[in-house]
Structure 1
Amino acid sequence: MSDEQFWSIGELAERAGVTVKTVRFYSDRGLLPESARSGGGHRRYGPQALERLRLIRSLRALDLSVPQVRRVVEDRGGAGRVLEEAVASRLRELGGELTAMRWRAAALRLVGECPPAERAERLRILGALSSPPSTAPLVRFWRGWLPPRMPARVTAAFLEAAVPQPPDDPTPEHVLAFARLHAMTTAPCPAGRRPQPDVHRVAGAGGASLLYAGLIEAFDLAGPQVRRHRAPHAGEALDAYVAAYASAYGSRDTREFRRLLAARLAAEPRLDRYWELTAVLRTPPAGLPEPTPGTADGWLRGALEQDNASAA
């Protein structure tokens, strides 16, 4: 290559339409190939550097990071695979950033549109919430509620049903519901301990595993009834519900057991507020809320009471 084809750092910057500082930045990081050095030790660049600089500018315009740009420009024979991976990675990152912005926007609307008397309380609970919020506090809450030593498969299935996921495009109502769920599940329990259903103590680890596996099946069966707003009634869902408790107690599904079960359930702690807030988060933009384990359980308890009354 003749001397006429060598460019100084300023000439390269002018040809590429960038500043000298930009050329020096990428050159110092080894991203721009030098063709030679002048007698005074100054960098000289050729057409390859101009082509590389234009590629770098295009990649940076796509918001790829410098490390990602390095992997792309140094790819040899990858048929564009490194570029595809970098673009896919950045798209995932942008998706998360957009979701976070939507949560912040919804939170701002929540505070801006609420009555002045409610702002202090809302600001307090929003202050503990990330954007988008983490479900980790809710998971910890349920792991403290569920019986210990339950099989991981059963625990995972229940957590999937019980822990709502933050919507990607939340409304102010979604933000408020999640903030209240977060406050509820992270608040200290009265007397330092969360009340546990009596069946956890009676059934033990093995019985509790049978109980929750059976309850998940019963909730799935009751779900369509809840969606259709059908009145609680006896049937397959109630039979599965009673069978789950019967297996936990080591008993059989008899009329006497159903009467005793109804009395025991009436005395056990419930988490109605948790399920009310969860229902808000599972309500589509235009539609009815999806059944939660709480709404399904309430329907099944009603079905049990109705069934006992009919048999009396």
Structure 2
Amino acid sequence: MDDGIPLYSIGELARLTGLTVKTIRFWSDAGVVPPTDRTPAGYRLYGPQALARLGLVRTLRELGVGLTAIQRVLAREVTVADVAAVHAEALETQIRTLRLRRAVLRAVAGRGSTPEELELMHKLAHLTDGERRRLIEDFIDHAFDGLDVDPGFLATMRNAMPMLPEDPSPEQIDAWVELAELVQDDGFRAGMRRAADDQMRAWAEAGRPGVEETRRQADLIRERTGAARKAGIAPQSPQARPFVDDIVVASAQMTGRQDSPEFRAWLLEQLESGHDSRYEQYWRLLAVINGWRQPDMGPAVEWLIAALRAGGPAA
């Protein structure tokens, strides 16, 4: 007691606060809870304000705030609100990082990955949005550079970028890693380039419908083959004929041509050259990453190809 003000030893503070003597001594040495006085033997003594300081310091430390920031708060250089805002933002970044690590580890566990695959998945998963975009844009540039590709098609490709959410699922991480590997595969790039080149030349000969017409054709193929498949109609059966005719007639009209054996042979050739399971996989993986509806053109085109083959050249 000094002038009526109670003074506490470190041991007494420890009993009053529930903190360890070692912790109080460390904070005292750091200057955040300085002693008020000392005994003749040199032992530290603390006033009542030390209890309040220790409570604040403990709370801030439990929230992860560093001692340097705490010193600035106690010195009135910054407010608790300022420190809390900065620290909350830092924690958000840490949380996003931890969620991403968790998703990678779960994806690795599901895959049964090798150490090499683990390293690759970790690297690819931690790319920024900008780095992911550049990876896809590099693929598009290499696959279609120099080709007379419809600008609308390229715009569609460039607008469809993988956007991992802040808390991705293992499936989304897995899909992103597979997509990143796919777009860097030389065989896939070359195949996409050949298919695009063949299709562009073929469409040019046929009057080259625009992107909107191509979308309408895709919607028609999806709708009519979907109805046939839902009804259990096999593409080789006679019952498939009306569905095929609807698609062929509409496709011919889009190109300013008439339904004929030659046109059907041409359409079959275009469907076969443009139907690449890896292209379908590209869009499927994008759908998983971005949470979009799964594409269903693969089964639709496969049904139509089988139906056109079974129907022969007759219109």
Partner of 1:263: 269
Correspondence 1:125 to 2:117: yes
Query: How far apart are the structure 1 equivalents of 2:283 and 2:66?
Result: 38
Partner of 1:158: 160
Query: How far apart are the structure 2 equivalents of 1:98 and 1:169?
Result: 9
User: How far is the alpha carbon of 1:107 from its aligned partner?
Assistant: 2.3
Partner of 1:50: 51
Q: Is the 8 A contact 1:133 1:166 kept in 2?
A: no
Correspondence 1:291 to 2:294: yes
User: How far is the alpha carbon of 1:198 from its aligned partner?
Assistant: 0.8
User: How far is the alpha carbon of 1:129 from its aligned partner?
Assistant: 0.9
Q: Is the 8 A contact 2:224 2:247 kept in 1?
A: no
Quickly say closer, same or farther: Cα 1:290–1:67, change in 2 above 3 A.
farther
Partner of 1:107: 108
Q: Is the 8 A contact 1:164 1:282 kept in 2?
A: no
Q: TM-score, normalised by structure 2?
A: 0.54
User: How far is the alpha carbon of 1:277 from its aligned partner?
Assistant: 7.9
Correspondence 1:5 to 2:6: yes
User: How far is the alpha carbon of 1:130 from its aligned partner?
Assistant: 1.0
User: How far is the alpha carbon of 1:50 from its aligned partner?
Assistant: 2.4
Partner of 1:144: 139
Q: Is the 8 A contact 1:238 1:300 kept in 2?
A: no
Q: Is the 8 A contact 1:9 1:24 kept in 2?
A: yes
Partner of 1:18: 19
Q: Is the 8 A contact 1:99 1:168 kept in 2?
A: yes
Letter in 2 for 1:56: V
User: How far is the alpha carbon of 1:227 from its aligned partner?
Assistant: 9.1
Q: Is the 8 A contact 2:225 2:303 kept in 1?
A: no
Q: How does 1:46-125 map to 2 (within 5 A)?
A: 46-63=47-64, 83=84, 86-87=87-88, 90=91, 93-94=94-95, 96-111=97-112, 122-125=114-117
User: How far is the alpha carbon of 1:23 from its aligned partner?
Assistant: 3.6
Q: Is the 8 A contact 1:226 1:296 kept in 2?
A: no
Q: Percent identity?
A: 19
Q: Is the 8 A contact 1:102 1:170 kept in 2?
A: yes
Letter in 2 for 1:291: Q
Determine helix, strand or coil for the equivalent of 1:159: coil
Q: Is the 8 A contact 1:125 1:180 kept in 2?
A: no
Q: How does 1:221-236 map to 2 (within 5 A)?
A: 230=230
User: How far is the alpha carbon of 1:296 from its aligned partner?
Assistant: 3.0
User: How far is the alpha carbon of 1:291 from its aligned partner?
Assistant: 1.6
Larger radius of gyration: 2
Partner of 1:198: 197
Determine helix, strand or coil for the equivalent of 1:18: coil
Partner of 1:116: none
Letter in 2 for 1:267: S
Give unpaired runs (5+ residues) of structure 2: 204-209, 236-242
Quickly say closer, same or farther: Cα 1:182–1:88, change in 2 above 3 A.
same
Q: Count the aligned residue pairs.
A: 277
Give unpaired runs (5+ residues) of structure 1: 112-118, 204-209, 247-251
Partner of 1:114: none
Partner of 2:170: 170
Deviations, residues 264-306 of structure 1 (Å, cap 9, x unaligned): 3432473x2464487479679xxxx9423xx336636856996
Deviations, residues 146-165 of structure 1 (Å, cap 9, x unaligned): 545979974553225xx776
Query: How far apart are the structure 2 equivalents of 1:25 and 1:236?
Result: 82
Deviations, residues 154-183 of structure 1 (Å, cap 9, x unaligned): 4553225xx776973436xx7765554444
Deviations, residues 52-89 of structure 1 (Å, cap 9, x unaligned): 322332333344555776787769777x5763674465
Letter in 1 for 2:294: P
Coordinate RMSD, CA, aligned: 6.0
Q: Is the 8 A contact 1:75 1:82 kept in 2?
A: no
Determine helix, strand or coil for the equivalent of 1:266: helix
Query: How far apart are the structure 1 equivalents of 2:48 and 2:245?
Result: 79
Quickly say closer, same or farther: Cα 1:177–1:102, change in 2 above 3 A.
closer
Determine helix, strand or coil for the equivalent of 2:120: coil
Partner of 1:184: 182
Q: Is the 8 A contact 1:138 1:185 kept in 2?
A: no
Q: Is the 8 A contact 1:33 1:48 kept in 2?
A: no
Determine helix, strand or coil for the equivalent of 1:130: helix
49-58 or 14-23: which moved more?
A: 14-23
